[in-house]
Every structure is written in structure tokens, then in C-alpha cells.
Amino acid sequence: MYQLTARYPKKRAFITGAASGLGRALCEQLALDRWHIGMCDIDRKGLEQTAQMVEGHGGSAYVYDLNVSDPAQYAQVAEDFLQQAGGIDLLVNNAGVSGHVGKMETAPVADWQWIVGINQMGVVYGCHYFVPAMKNQQSGYILNIASAAGFVNPPNMAGYNVTKAAVIALSESLFTELKPFGVQVSVSMTTFFRTNIMQHSRGNPEMVKRGQKMVQGSNIEAATMAKQLLNACGQNRFYLLFSFQSRLLFQIKRLSPAFFRWLVGKVTREKKLG
């Protein structure tokens, strides 16, 4: 049993991007502890598969078609879930896309609007619509899924970097803001693990292919990452830095920013990413 399960006996979770990857893996782990899970995505078929898996493991599934970049749609879904579940104990803002891969100036404005809408505003909307319920309950947990890219900021990923840095900043703000109300916050800043994050990538085809290879070449499965994140939340850890590479880079940047920028430049030049 996860520590979060013992802490929140009503076991009510809402997870975005639940049709595949990390979202589905988190649903599976919570289902094993018989959580009641609101799950949303734009992939209805994938959602239904996740729901079947959740119910097969003993959990309860509430399925919602939701584009997280649509605030009106999100407001309605959040209201429906809160009414059906009677509240919320765990919010996981997980939905995300990799966006435009390539030089910043080559990304159309529409691509910027698209990735900001999903990766950044989708997290803002989730917090906006669920935080009031958590504050009224005087309890709850928010897990925001950012990325190591939000502090490493490698080249040719400006849109992704910007949105993930925004999620880190939002999480840091909420950590202090919500603590007096008994609401905990964590932010995940992981390096690559195997998901389909690159499936909707736009931009330079060669760079997209290289990025897909890096993601699929990771030796970390989504299920492994889900277990690590849930265990870390149970310990009330704020920065969730997995794997070791993420922790190392975070410390190097904190202790020596100039050396860190030199290191990122050197590595990306050697990999021909710059």
C-alpha cells in the first residue's frame, strides 16, 4: 500500500493524460490500492482501455473526454468529478506534448499557442478548478508533472522548456501558498523515460526522430517512474528528481550556473543538437 493511500482513505484522484504512458501507469498503481480515479484525455479509446485496467485491478474509473487547454470544458469536467467523487485527494497534472522540435524562430506562433495551452495552461486550469475544493477540505495533494527540461533548457526545445519551467514555477508558488490549508505539492522533474510524449511532435523531422530515439532508448519504464513518483509523494518530497542524472544536473546548476551552461553547450554540440 502506498503512503498516500493510508493518508487519504477516501482515495479520490484525478489524472490528466491518462490514456497512455505515465498517466496510465499512475492509474494502474493507484487502482491496485482501490482508488476512485477520474481520468481524462483526448484519446477515448486509450481512456477506455485504462478504465478497464483500473476496474480489473479493483479501482473505480470515471472517464472524461477532455482537452486540458479548453478552460470551459475543464471547468465542467472538474465540477462533474467533484460531484461524483464527493471531493478530491490527489490531482495529477500529467497531460503534455513535446511541441515543436527545432530552432525557436522556426516554430509557428500557432505551435507556441498549442504547447502553452496544453503543457502550461492545462496545469493552471487543473489547479484553478480543484484547489478550492482542497482548501475547503483542508487536505489534498497536487503532483505536477514537469521535466528536467524545465531547468536544463537544452537547445531546439524552447517551447517545451518554457512550459515545463512554468510548471516548476507554479508548483513552487503553490507549495507555500497552500501549505497553511493542509494541501501538499510536488513537482516531477525527470529525465527521459519510455512514453509516447513525442507522438504529436512538430518541427524538424530529423530532430523529432532523434528525440523519439532518445525517449524510446531509455531503460526506465513508465510503470517504474509511476512507482517512484507515488512513493516520493508519500514522503512529502517537493522536487522529484529521477533519475540520478536529473539529480546531478539540478545540483550542478544550483552550485555552479556558469559551469552548467558550459556543460549543456558541450554535450549538445557533441550530440549535434545545438
Q: Supply the pLDDT for residue 74.
A: 98
Structure letter (DSSP) for residue 106: G
60 preceded by a cis bond (ω within 30 of 0)? no
Neighbours of 45 (CB within 10 A): 9
For the chain, list residues with pLDDT below 70.
193-219, 270-274
Mean pLDDT for all residues in the chain: 91
Q: What is the CATH number of the domain that holds 225?
A: 3.40.50.720
Question: Is the whole model's pTM more than 0.75, yes or no?
Answer: yes
Q: How many domains does the chain have?
A: 1
| Options 62, 125, 129, 160, the catalytic residue | 160
Distances (CA, A) of 120 to 35, 45, 85: 27, 25, 26
Please work out, in degrees rounded to the nearest 5, the angle formed at the alpha carbon of residue 170 by the alpha carbons of 258 and 106. 65
Catalytic residue check, 160: yes
* CB burial readout 240-251, b (16+ within 10 A) else e: bbbbeebeebbe
Nearest CA among 135, 151, 177, 37 for reference residue 94? 37
Distance CA 150, CA 152 (A): 6
The DSSP string of 126-171 is: HHHHHHHHHHHHT-EEEEEE--THHHH--TT-HHHHHHHHHHHHHH
Distance CA 51, CA 39 (A): 8
pLDDT, tens only, 93-127:
999 998 888 899 999 999 999 999 999 999 999 99
* Amino acid at residue number 143: L
Q: Supply the pLDDT for residue 274.
A: 40
Q: Which domain holds residue 233?
A: 3-270
Order of strands, sheet of 12-16, starting from the edge strand that comes earlier in the sequence: 60-65, 36-41, 12-16, 90-93, 140-145, 183-188, 239-240
Residue for grid cell 508533472: 145
Percent of the chain surpassing pLDDT 70: 88
Q: Is 23 helix (H, G, I), strand (E, B) or coil?
A: helix
Q: Supply the pLDDT for residue 267.
A: 83
Structure letter (DSSP) for residue 118: I
